[in-house]
């Protein structure tokens, strides 16, 4: 063993202990540098993923804004169509309401006349029926102006008209 301790394996005897400290420090520094590089690499990877996600989100935002603009244009077009059709539709609705009310009045007049003819057992003459229908309609309208609903007018109320 003495022979090996004297040879020092190619190293100077006094440099042996000091060189090991340098290598230990160098290895520690390299290990620290590798850890730092790994952290930086991880940070760069995260940054790239976030940038890709931001690009995707910007693209989705752009397409969503384009859709929103398209829907706004459709909405504006629909509103304009409603504005132009609004007065005509209101006139049509008013006309339909008036027609419906007139039909209800005629129906009520026919119903009252038929009930009267059924009570009295009289045969129906079309010319007389048409004249009496006009009288019953006028009576119904008069009663409505007084605040009496057409449904409350009975056969007894119109009997005096049909003598």
Would you say residue 2 lies in a domain?
no
What is the C-alpha end-to-end distance of the chain, expressed in Å? Answer: 154
Of 155, 156, 159, which Cα lies nearest the Cα of 111? 155
Whether the CB-CB separation of 133 and 109 falls below 8 Å is answered with yes
pLDDT at residue 54, rounded to an integer: 93
Would you say residue 4 lies in a domain?
no
Whether the CB-CB separation of 112 and 135 falls below 8 Å is answered with no
pLDDT at residue 1, rounded to an integer: 45
The pLDDT tens digits of the residues spanning 124-163 come to 888 888 888 899 999 999 998 999 888 888 888 888 887 7
Would you say residue 146 lies in a domain?
yes
Average pLDDT over residues 77-95: 80
Considering only residues 3 and 52, tell me which one the structure prediction assigns the higher pLDDT. 52
112 vs 30, 101, 161, CA distance in Å? 111, 16, 12
Q: Tell me which residue range forms the domain holding 74.
A: 14-162
* Whole-angstrom distance, CA of residue 114 vs CA of residue 11: 135
Provide the 10 A C-beta neighbour count for residue 158. Answer: 20
Would you say residue 1 lies in a domain?
no
Average pLDDT over residues 4-21: 54
Would you say residue 49 lies in a domain?
yes
The number of folded domains in the chain is 1
Whether the CB-CB separation of 159 and 116 falls below 8 Å is answered with yes
């Amino acid at each position: 063993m003495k022979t090996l301790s004297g040879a020092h394996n190619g190293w100077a005897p006094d440099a042996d202990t000091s060189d090991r400290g340098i290598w230990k420090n160098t290895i520690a520094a390299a290990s620290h540098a590798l850890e730092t590089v790994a952290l930086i690499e991880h940070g760069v990877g995260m940054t790239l993923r976030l940038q890709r996600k931001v690009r995707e989100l910007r693209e989705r935002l752009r397409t969503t804004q384009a859709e929103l603009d398209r829907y706004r244009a459709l909405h504006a077009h629909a509103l304009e169509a409603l504005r132009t059709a609004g007065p005509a539709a209101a006139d049509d609705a008013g006309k339909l309401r008036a027609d419906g009310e007139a039909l209800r009045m005629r129906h009520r007049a026919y119903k009252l006349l038929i009930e009267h003819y059924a009570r009295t057992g009289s045969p129906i003459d079309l010319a007389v029926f048409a004249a009496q229908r006009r009288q019953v309609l006028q009576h119904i309208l008069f009663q409505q102006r007084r605040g009496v609903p057409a449904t409350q007018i009975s056969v007894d109320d119109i009997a005096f008209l049909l003598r």
